[in-house]
Structure 1
Amino acid sequence: MGSNDTSLSSTMEHRLWVFAGCSSLLGMLAKSAAGIETSSDAGLSTLAILSAYVLADLATGIYHWGIDNYGDDKTPLFGPQIDAFQGHHKRPWTITKRDFSNNIHSLARPATIFLVPVLVATPGSGPVDAFLGVFLGCVVFSQQFHSWAHTRRSQLPGVVRALQDLGVLVSTRMHGKHHREPFDGNYCIVSGVWNRVLDSSGVLRLAERWIYSNWGYAPRCWSDSSPEWSQQGSYFED
């Protein structure tokens, strides 16, 4: 929920994009299964699935870092998501009140636009199709994983709590660190496995300094007093 779009309910457009996105993702997985002909194909597809899951966490972290720190609601293409994430920092708990399709439609839309041509116009390849299906699936549903990371454990389904405890999904404890000063880490929202790597390596700080030295844009996380970080209320619903 951003400063411009304060809606928490799903619209028919949201639901249609989510339906199209989920259909495209399932289509990629079905296409992948159809392309597996040998045990070697099966092994490569399994490796592709695991790689896609791991790399999706990294991708969400880098993207989250970018829209948290640069641009505003007027930025072309990314403006609505930047606005939504800034609104999220002000009112973290509201993500748990967003309807499912309202929460993930903005990621389902580009996934659908990318996957439909791949589905209909490219030859099948088990490992490639498996990678694309799982990678984009994790990215699309990362916003739901993000929502669960803002939900009290007592309100989560048992299977979600178990997956968080196992580190398969990003946990409330891990993501909660992202909402504490200096607001400059723990950006990944699939499993969070890349958080320690990104934060301890200093690679994001190097990227911030490089962007600042070349274009003069300072990231928001350099200013703890930036109004965008002023949280209203608690991490959970009061």
Structure 2
Amino acid sequence: MNANLILEVGLIVLQTIGVILAVDFVSGIVHWLEDSYGSKKWPIVGKWIIEPNIRHHFEPRHFTKSNFWKRNAATLVLSGSVLAVISLLGWFHWTWALAALIGGVTNEIHCWAHRSPRENGKVITFLHKAKILQSPRGHATHHTDPKDRSYCTVTDWLNPLLDGVDFFARIEKFVLKTTGLKRRIDESVRPPKNKKKCCGGQCAQCAKCQLKKAA
């Protein structure tokens, strides 16, 4: 095989992996913003995006019952718009198209992580087992109280790294310190099982206590 061809194929593979990781990271940032600071009172996106996201923490499988368009409309519109602007500016490249494609269906990939192998079929199940797409086991970490980690929804690759350095927790501390903006209380988080009585608002992971403290 021609050496130049090998280099070209290798470059395409590396670029593809880079795009996947970039989209995965962006999905984590967006997901974190929704979970941490999103409000149902926000115009347009509050009703369209934040409210379903809040419900998702109470009923993780609810959105699997809806149709493809309802699950992915927001990300498809956003990704398509970004790609259109990039194209108009003359910056089009196949990597942007790939990023828009993956970015547009991140919620579908998220949906697959909430479905059983029987529901997903052989192809998606294979991609889960091969660690190419985020697996149900990998995503389950995000839905484990206090639900404040593993925000990336495309692969299982980035979450362990970001969680390992408390990436999002550090950003939240910085935001709180510099702006005074607190993380939104996640009412789906259950009080710690080892606390039979209210801890007096001292538990950062106890939604009940935080609600009492906020009041």
Establish whether TM, by shorter chain, passes 0.5. yes
Higher relative contact order (CA 8 A, sep 6+): 1
2: CA distance between counterparts of 1:204 and 1:142? 20
- Tell me by how many angstroms 1:76 deviates: 4.4
2:41 to 74, 93, 96: 74
Structure 1's 49 and 138: CA in aligned 2 closer, same or farther, altered over 3 A? Answer: same
SS at match of 1:86: helix
Quick check: 1:181–1:224 contact (8 Å CA) kept in 2?
A: no
Bigger CA drift: 46-55 or 63-72?
A: 46-55
Bigger CA drift: 65-74 or 110-119?
A: 110-119
- Tell me by how many angstroms 1:123 deviates: 5.9
Larger radius of gyration: 2
Deviations 1:9-44 (A, max 9, x none): xxxxxxxxxxxxxxxxxxxxxxxxxxxxx9576654
2: CA distance between counterparts of 1:123 and 1:78? 28
1:170 to 101, 120, 134: 134
Quick check: 1:57–1:192 contact (8 Å CA) kept in 2?
A: no
- Tell me by how many angstroms 1:223 deviates: 4.0
- Tell me by how many angstroms 1:116 deviates: 2.0
> Paired residue for 1:201?
165
> Paired residue for 1:63?
30
The size of the alignment, in residue pairs, is 186
Bigger CA drift: 216-225 or 192-201?
A: 216-225
What RMSD, in angstroms, separates the aligned Cα atoms of the two structures?
2.3
2:119 to 129, 140, 155: 155
Give the % identical residues.
24
Quick check: 2:110–2:154 contact (8 Å CA) kept in 1?
A: yes
Structure 1's 77 and 200: CA in aligned 2 closer, same or farther, altered over 3 A? Answer: farther
> Paired residue for 2:189?
none
Quick check: 1:45–1:131 contact (8 Å CA) kept in 2?
A: no
1: CA distance between counterparts of 2:91 and 2:112? 37
- Tell me by how many angstroms 1:143 deviates: 0.5
Which residue type is aligned with residue 90 of structure 1? F
- Tell me by how many angstroms 1:136 deviates: 2.0
1: CA distance between counterparts of 2:11 and 2:208? 47
1: CA distance between counterparts of 2:86 and 2:39? 32
Q: Which runs of 5+ in 1 are unaligned?
A: 1-37, 228-238
- Tell me by how many angstroms 1:97 deviates: 0.4
SS at match of 2:142: helix
Deviations 1:130-176 (A, max 9, x none): 22112222111111111111112222210100100111111111111
Q: Which runs of 5+ in 2 are unaligned?
A: 187-203, 210-215
Q: TM-score, normalised by structure 1?
A: 0.71
> Paired residue for 1:133?
97
- Tell me by how many angstroms 1:121 deviates: 4.8
Quick check: 1:174–1:192 contact (8 Å CA) kept in 2?
A: yes
SS at match of 1:137: helix
Q: Confirm whether residue 99 of structure 1 aligns to residue 67 of structure 2.
A: yes
SS at match of 1:103: helix
> Paired residue for 2:193?
none
